[in-house]
Amino acid sequence: MDGERSPEELKAMGVIVENTEGDKLKKFEQLRESTHLEIERETKERTEKNPKPTEDELLIGAFQEELEPQVRDAVFLLYRKGYSTESSGFYGEHGEIQQIDGYFEIDQETEEKFRLLGIQVRTELRGEETSNKKYTSIFFKPENPEIEEIKAKWKEIIMILPDKKTSDELSVSGGSEEFRKTFAPERKDLRIRMIEKRLFLGDISPEVTQELKEELMELKRDGAERAEKPLNSDKIVKQKIGIAKTLSKIEESFKTSREIGIDQLNEIIDLAEKEYGFTINQIGLLKEGIKKYGERHGAIKKYLERYQREFGENWKKDFFKDCFGDYPKGEVNLREGAVTIYWQCENLEDYALAINLPPEEAQKTFGHRKSPLDDYLDGLRGTIIVEWSGHPQHKAKEQEEKDRKSLATETHEEQHIIFDMLPDEVDYSGLEFGKLNEESSLEEVSKEVNKYLKTRRQEMERMTKNEIMAYWKDGEKTLEEIESMVLEKGSIYDGTAAVTEENLGSYLISRFGEYYKKYLLDLEISKNWDEECKQYEEAVKRAINILKEIQEHSPDKKREFIYLLSIEPLSKWERTVRLIKDKI
């Protein structure tokens, strides 16, 4: 029988044999070739019509049109989840393998999920000090040479990968470096980050290492000349005023037009930089905020369009279910903002479900921010506000007053969302618990514990600053009421009870070992934390007093001051306002 003969024997007998595997490989080659031709066409069109990269493209180091279409979405989604890639697309002699790789790690649980789906992970160590320099490749062999099928597989992979909650890494491949030099030579901040990452990775020659170190010193020297001088400097005053006015203008722009693009907002920053002489770090932070705006604005637009298209006139109920876990029992409505989705729930149970609180706790509030439950709606994190429109106090009011209260709630929660897009001045990088060991002295342990307590106090100040700004902006409470509320012991805003000898001791022991026990009695945790809490309370009182001065003498500048103080540490409000209140 023919089935018992080899393909070579059948061919010698004149029998036509289909080379299925060879045909498939040929089709992969053809797909790769046609894809690259399409990339050339799209890239040429992009560079001719719009050669200005987005912030994401600068960090990835390529126009999106330069990426192969089957991995294009995946690369950007990986970046947003915290995975910095170096190369991607067709691999293998015939293009029969799909691969994305870069300096990131995959945990064992995720790797096992991949293995069950036929997805392979390979990790190698690069550089001299390899502990933090793992280079990982994710790859698989597609069943068919079909772009959409391959894209779907990459989407499946992205859904499985855990979110690392960061997207600040940048590619350091040769192509990405050349891209940034060509299309954004003025972005010295990105060049500095690239050099620092290259030096950290260490897989470069001694000669190149020395060249990069010298360039880094020169860039930082140049940056230092532009850096912030003491607060009595006219230049730094001008920069701070410029930041406040720029952020205010950006908010006004995206409230006026929901369709305004990232490129237009970046133009606002570029013009302001010329007028106010921002430092490299200030420009980078402003553009990072714009990038976050773009991600959230794009996600809102995408999901609202998708649910209206797929679910028709009852789309809001299906969207509510996917956001919060169940269909609403009462009437729900929503308003779309530039970076917000504002839900209104008539039914208390729906409101309680949405904000994930028992009804008896939920009924004490009017509105709340909330993240969706479903990871599939991950892009909407930090955008959702929920209001209990059926609150008894709403019911008892005239429509005009009800609308005013609703607007105040939206303004309050929206300020929280805007605040989340601004830079965090609390620096956790100085904590070095991990460097301590059984041989560490009491002095060394005490130093790190006290540093940790200070960081907790700064974190507490940041969260309180957020609440003060939101309440001051919505105008529903007096400054005296705000101060009393945020400093009330046992309230939802009270963070002073968060640190005790018991819970800090348990944290240290669970994370760093039993040997911390011998120091717990000598560390004076309660005494030192009490001192940090006193500093916190004094900072809050000084902050409220300076807001009272603004309210009395410069009420027309409230909006600019909200932005100015939102990016200043609470403890520096008084000094900053006194410096610039007559110049803003």
pLDDT digits (tens, 9 = 90+) for 38-52: 999 999 998 888 888
Angle between helices 525-553 and 501-512 (to 10 degrees): 110
Q: What is the pLDDT of residue 540?
A: 92
Give the separation between CA 241 and CA 228, rounded to whole angstroms. 13
Q: What is the pLDDT of residue 101?
A: 92
Give this prediction's pTM. Answer: 0.54
Q: What is the pLDDT of residue 230?
A: 43
How long is the chain?
A: 584
Least confident range from 37-46, 340-349, 490-499: namely 490-499
One-character DSSP codes across 253-302 = HHHH-TT--HHHHHHHHHHHHHHH---HHHHHHHHHHHHHHHHHHHHHHH
Mean pLDDT of 389-409: 67
pLDDT digits (tens, 9 = 90+) for 510-532: 655 666 666 666 667 778 888 88
Position 319 pLDDT exceeds 80: yes
Kindly report the three-state secondary structure assignment for every residue of 198-242. Answer: HHHHCCCCHHHHHHHHHHHHHHHHHHHHHCCCCCCCHHHHHHHHH
Residue 58 carries which side chain, given as an amino acid letter? L
Least confident range from 12-16, 347-351, 556-560: namely 12-16
Cα dihedral 481/484/488/494 (nearest 10): 80
DSSP β-ladder status, 367-370 and 384-388: antiparallel
Ranges 15-29, 225-239, 283-297, 556-570, most confident: 556-570
pLDDT digits (tens, 9 = 90+) for 124-148: 876 554 445 688 999 999 999 999 9
Which comes out higher in pLDDT, residue 509 or 150? Answer: 150
Which comes out higher in pLDDT, residue 139 or 446? Answer: 139
Q: What is the pLDDT of residue 507?
A: 66
Give the separation between CA 167 and CA 288, rounded to whole angstroms. 10
CA atoms within 13 A on the CB side of 98: 27
Give the separation between CA 323 and CA 375, rounded to whole angstroms. 9
Ranges 106-110, 408-412, 580-584, most confident: 106-110
Q: Are 318 and 307 in contact (CB under 8 A)?
A: yes
| pLDDT band, very low/low/confident/very high, at 229 (cuts 50, 70, 90) | very low
Residue 67 carries which side chain, given as an amino acid letter? L
Position 584 pLDDT exceeds 60: yes
- Structure token pair of residue 475: 């105008």
